[in-house]
Amino acid sequence: MSDQGLPSDCVGIVETEYFTFADQAPFVLESGATLGPITLAYQTYGQLNADRSNAVLILHALSGGAHAAGYRSLDDTKPGWWDTSIGPGKAFDTDRFFVICSNIIGSCYGSTGPGSLNPATGKLYGLSFPVVTIGDIVRAQERLIDHLGIERLLCVVGGSMGGMQALEWAAHHPERIRAAIPLATTARSNAMHIALSEVGRQAIYADPNWQGGDYYDGSRRPDAGLAVARMIAHITYLSEQSMHQKFGRRLQNRERFGYEFQTEFQVESYLRHQGLSFTQRFDANSYLYITKAMDYFDLSQSAAGTNGLPVNSLAAAFAGAQDIKFLVVSFTSDWLYPSHQSKAIVSALTAAGADVSYLDIESDAGHDAFLVEVATMTRLLGSFMDRLAREEGVS
């Protein structure tokens, strides 16, 4: 396919690939339940070098997918979700690195999830899909990395839930990575995170079209509930300052108050649009499963002590990570994963003897800053990757 007309720093036209495993022996989940076969949708950009030392795994957030960079076709108006950071000469320079982005299990973008066919029953899973954890998600990614013939990833990187996966790689698969970049994330979902997740789920449950998750065969889908869930979440991705700057109290297509319940303020119109457009691209059951996976995430609990009992210490979770280089980044206006949660990660990594750089970036963009602050992120991630490649002898 010709890539004419695309920007020169773009990876070009990309295609999604699919890797299926656990088709013989099922994959055992953290819950004890089994799942198989499992398909992961993924994309790759750049070339794996001869000694297979230049692979970077990009880890997506709640609503992301494998399509992180480039365009699906020449008609495509929007590039992948992190195209600003992935491409020739960009932070994850595809002239130097082999970049992989894999959709997580449970999602609705080509990987096995609640909307997939259950071969055992001949029906779509719905709520019979087993609950998965960040640990399960990462172990599935490990299978993909095995499949691609990569012994050790140069770096794993992601923001938000992607950052949880990066930390999970470091805590439980330290021998498989040389570096990790957790952005705007936490090592432990706290009561507020769980509360925000739960109210989103409640909005979906409350929609009669959800039908206990068994809506795939009919024409009624829980769009109204999913839209409300997305609107709640979207507010948490912004900050008071960024919402004020974007919308203030400006009215939408009117000069004075209408004193009714139609959209009056621009921010209302924006939110309704965010909710509606999300229903056209995401599956409500996937929303339930992925938020649940985030709620379970707590590296401080999962570290096993010498007596076999859980040790409530984040440093213990990173005991095997002392040879990994970390770049931890938080943003001053992120109230979903505030800076002190990144500082707790940095303290634990430091206590574990790891090599950690930490930046708390001044930004008004809220949680979304890791995607929005392009210039800062490019400079920061680019120099970290450059140093890493030199230190690890990646050519």
Widest pairwise Cα distance in the chain: 68
Whichever of 50 and 191 has its CB closer to a second copy, that residue is 191
CB 327 within 8 A of CB 380: yes
Buried b (16+ CB within 10 A) or exposed e, 339-373: bebbeebbebbeebebebebbbbebbbbbbbbbbb
Span interacting with a second copy, options 87-95, 159-167, 247-255, 369-377, rule CB under 8 A: 247-255
Instruction: Identify the residue among 235, 311, 359, 394 touching a second copy (CB under 8 A).
Output: 235
Q: How far is the CB of 99 from a second copy (least distance, A)?
A: 33
CB 213 within 8 A of CB 288: yes
- Measure the N-to-C terminal CA separation of the chain; round to a whole number of Å: 28
Instruction: Identify the residue among 50, 191, 309, 375 touching a second copy (CB under 8 A).
Output: 191
The backbone region for 156, taken as left when phi is positive above 0, alpha when psi lies in -120 to 50, beta otherwise, is beta
Q: How far is the CB of 60 from a second copy (least distance, A)?
A: 23
**Residue 127 makes contact with a second copy by CB under 8 A:** yes
**Residue 249 makes contact with a second copy by CB under 8 A:** yes
Whichever of 82 and 289 has its CB closer to a second copy, that residue is 289
**Residue 128 makes contact with a second copy by CB under 8 A:** no
Span interacting with a second copy, options 81-89, 109-117, 125-133, 153-161, rule CB under 8 A: 125-133
**Residue 272 makes contact with a second copy by CB under 8 A:** yes
Closest CA to 181 of 169, 189, 197, 198: 169
Q: How far is Cα 81 from Cα 368, in angstroms, rounded to an integer?
A: 12
Q: How far is the CB of 247 from a second copy (least distance, A)?
A: 4
Closest CA to 284 of 229, 219, 208: 229
Instruction: Identify the residue among 267, 299, 303, 349 touching a second copy (CB under 8 A).
Output: 267
Whichever of 180 and 348 has its CB closer to a second copy, that residue is 348
SS3 (DSSP) at 27: strand
Instruction: Identify the residue among 68, 154, 157, 231 touching a second copy (CB under 8 A).
Output: 231
Whichever of 75 and 260 has its CB closer to a second copy, that residue is 260
Span interacting with a second copy, options 161-169, 258-266, 314-322, 374-382, rule CB under 8 A: 258-266
Whichever of 175 and 362 has its CB closer to a second copy, that residue is 362
The first and second tokens of residue 275, run together, are: 């909710």
Instruction: Identify the residue among 19, 21, 216, 247 touching a second copy (CB under 8 A).
Output: 247
Q: How far is Cα 317 from Cα 344, in angstroms, rounded to an integer?
A: 13
Closest CA to 116 of 93, 95, 132, 135: 132
Whichever of 190 and 277 has its CB closer to a second copy, that residue is 190
- Span 293-312, contacts to a second copy by CB under 8 A: 295-296, 298, 301
Instruction: Identify the residue among 199, 254, 273, 277 touching a second copy (CB under 8 A).
Output: 199
CB 294 within 8 A of CB 165: no
Whichever of 30 and 76 has its CB closer to a second copy, that residue is 30
- Span 171-190, contacts to a second copy by CB under 8 A: 188-190
* Residue positions annotated with a catalytic role: 160, 334, 367
Distance (Å) of CA 201 to CA 278, 281, 304, 312, 362: 15, 17, 31, 28, 32
Span interacting with a second copy, options 109-117, 219-227, 322-330, 385-393, rule CB under 8 A: 219-227
Amino acid at 343: K
CB 189 within 8 A of CB 294: yes
Q: Can you say whether the dihedral through the CA atoms of 276, 281, 287, 293 is positive or negative?
A: negative
Q: How far is the CB of 219 from a second copy (least distance, A)?
A: 15
Q: How far is Cα 233 from Cα 278, in angstroms, rounded to an integer?
A: 11
The residue length of the chain stands at 395
Instruction: Identify the residue among 198, 355, 360, 392 touching a second copy (CB under 8 A).
Output: 198
> Nearest 5°: phi and psi at 258?
-95, -15
> Nearest 5°: phi and psi at 127?
-75, 0
Instruction: Identify the residue among 246, 254, 281, 379 touching a second copy (CB under 8 A).
Output: 246
SS3 content of the chain, % helix, strand, coil (to 5): 35, 15, 45
Provide the binding-site residues for a second copy, judged by CB under 8 A: 29-31, 33, 127, 130-131, 188-192, 194-196, 198-199, 201-203, 205-208, 224-225, 227-228, 231-232, 235, 238, 240, 243-244, 246-249, 257, 259-261, 264-265, 267-268, 271-272, 275, 288, 292, 295-296, 298, 301, 335, 338
